[in-house]
A and B are shown apart, each in its own frame.
Chain A
Amino acid sequence: MLRVQALSKRYATGDQALGGVTLTIPAGQVVGLIGPSGAGKSTLIRCVNRLVEPSGGSIYLNDIDLTRLNHSQLRQARRRMAMIFQEFALVERLTVMENVLSGQLGYVSFWRSLLRQFPAAAVAKAFATLDRVGLADHIDKRADTLSGGQRQRVGIARALLQNPDLLLVDEPTASLDPKTSRQIMRLLTDVCAEQQLAAIINIHDVALARMFVQRIVGLRKGLVVFDGPPESLDATALTMIYGAEDWTGTIQETECQPDPYVQLDPMTQSPLVPA
């Protein structure tokens, strides 16, 4: 469904961020994109929706070459690939509902969006999505009154309102605490499974990526150096992606990972049996 071919990007400053990335993602697959800072993870997903203009190569979404689209074709194509951001990127002074409905902007006329007169189906979908992400009680609050986890849920709801085929997710948990991070990752992977969405998730936390995604792509200095299932991401692979380090902790952490749904007794670390 998404085919990236020999994608390269050199910034005006001369930095080669991507040096020929080739990647194919079938419909409904959730891919974790890992790699050190500056490896080009963010540049890669921003090249897909052309928030960053690629310097070479091509990107096909449903057999349309995104790199050849003109301005209005690009706007139409962007509707099908929704982005979720590290710092949530909500419009702070707008309400939760306005932020979620802004996912529909590519589908409605300027006058409708100016007067906040969205089509009935879009409004119904917004209510349903807010209910799905657990924010039914916060609809008319301003976005800047929400907590980090709630904001990222709004970000996810906004993305879903675009009726996307693909989610481009840039460090969704980097600003969240560990528990909220897991909840957000679970919500993301669950909605992808429910709606058959493909997703590229940039993520720093390798252990978290291993827990939730079906496939991991490792990027180093703008090149794909690892592509495989989470189980095959061992110390050798991690050294290939990030460089030499003692990786036993990272690998053990996920191997000893308890089932996230089971609550542990804080004293004994044994699973709590519901009374």
Chain B
Amino acid sequence: MLHHPKQIQAVSQYPTRWKKPPFIRRAWLRYGMYLFISGYLVLGFTSVEINWTRVAEGIPRGWIFISAFFTPDFLSRSSDIWQGIKESLTMTLTSTIAGIALSIPIGVGAARNLAPAPIYLACRSIIAITRSFQEIIIAILFVAMVGFGPLAGFLTLTLATIGFLAKLLAEDIEDIDESQTEAIRSTGASWLQLINYAVQPQVMPRLIGLSMYRLDINFRESAVIGIVGAGGIGATLNTAIDRYEFDSAAAILLIIIAIVFISEYSSGFIRNRVQ
């Protein structure tokens, strides 16, 4: 034998205490950061100005709005509500499908392990631009460009879907098991065959899950961007609130909640099935 394992020493020679080393090793930096953060929090809280008289005046108005939920009025504006819901659902579905169709090529192009550098940079820039603005701001821009109505909403949500889906798809592709890609590449497969045989099977379940999730988000967003004029149920909701018709507004909110619940439940169900 060339190796002789060292005999274990008598146990009493070893320390009996052990502590996990701190995340920030330098003590002055660690305590300095604690001090800085707590000081910042104190300053932040003391700088908030709350006008308690205005809060007190607002409470009864808030109560009127909340009590409307106990007497929601689905009927007197039913045709407007129905019209808004139809518009929102159409906007949601079309923009999600268009968004997915555009996200896939952009997402593949933005995956560093598949795309050459110029295409990678171009696709990453598209994603960065589509993600840099909140939906409402994009909606305002599109309303200014194409006028009031669901077309502006459709364009907004399509763009938002690209920013969301293409980014997450690209990241998922970058995380795939490279050995499977290597194996398919070594058979002499072309680039498209590589995508179809090695990449697609690995990312498909997550792509389906994310698409369902985005459908969900797009419906909720369609209600929000309607408020700035991009059509759908949000426009109806905005009108109802402007007219102080809180019972109609409550009805609309209840319908939105119900639809979100349904889509949440069904998308969760589908996501579980495709794993």
Same complex for A and B? Answer: yes
- For A78, the chain B residues whose CB sits under 8 A away are 185-188
With contact pairs A83-B183, A114-B196, A246-B1 given, residues A94 and B189 touching in the complex (Cβ less than 8 Å)? no
Minimum CB distance partner of B203 in chain A: A93
Q: Is B197 a contact of A94 with CB atoms below 8 Å?
A: yes
List residues of B whose CB falls within 8 A of some A CB. Answer: 1-2, 177, 179-180, 182-190, 192-193, 196-198, 201-202, 204-205
- Ordered by A's residue number, 15 sampled pairs between the chains whose C-beta atoms are within 8 Å are A78-B188, A85-B179, A89-B182, A90-B183, A91-B184, A93-B202, A94-B197, A94-B201, A104-B187, A105-B184, A105-B187, A106-B187, A106-B189, A113-B189, A244-B2
- Cβ A79 vs Cβ B183 within 8 A: no
Q: For chain B, what secondary structure do more than half of its interface residues adopt (helix, strand, loop), or is it mixed?
A: helix
Question: How close is B183's CB to chain A, nearest CB, in angstroms?
Answer: 4
B1 to chain A: which residues have CB within 8 Å? 246
> Given that A90-B180, A92-B201, A246-B2 are contacting pairs, would A49 and B193 also be in contact in the complex, using a CB cutoff of 8 Å?
no
From A83, A85, A102, A107, contact of B197 by CB (8 A): A102
Say whether A51 contacts B186, CB under 8 Å: yes
Q: Once bound together, how far apart are the Cα atoms of A98 and B185, in whole Å?
A: 15
Could you tell me if A110 and B180 are in contact, using CB atoms closer than 8 angstroms?
A: no
Picked from A79, A85, A246, the residue with its CB within 8 Å of the CB of B187 is A79
* With contact pairs A93-B204, A105-B188, A114-B196 given, residues A245 and B2 touching in the complex (Cβ less than 8 Å): yes
Contacts of B204 in A (CB 8 A): 93
Residues of A within 8 Å of B183, CB to CB, are: 83, 85, 89-91, 102, 155, 158
**How many chain-A residues does the 8 Å CB contact rule pick out?**
35
Q: Flag if A51 contacts B180 (CB, 8 Å).
A: no
- Within 53-98 of A, Cβ neighbours of B (below 8 Å) are at 75-79, 81-83, 85, 87, 89-94, 98
Apart from A51-B186, A85-B179, A114-B196: 13 A-B pairs, beta carbons within 8 A: A85-B183, A89-B183, A91-B180, A93-B201, A93-B205, A94-B197, A102-B184, A105-B184, A105-B197, A110-B190, A110-B192, A113-B193, A113-B196
Contact A105 B2 (CB under 8 A): no
Question: Contacts of B188 on A, CB cut-off 8 Å?
Answer: 75-79, 105-107, 162
> Which of these, B2, B177, B182, B189, contacts A51 with CB under 8 Å?
B182
Q: Which residues of A contact B198 (CB under 8 A)?
A: 91
> Is the CB–CB distance between A158 and B182 below 8 Å?
no
Q: Give the residues in chain A near B202, CB-CB below 8 Å.
A: 91-93
What's the Cα separation between A246 and B1 when bound, in Å? Answer: 7
What is the chain A residue whose CB lies nearest that of B183? Answer: A89
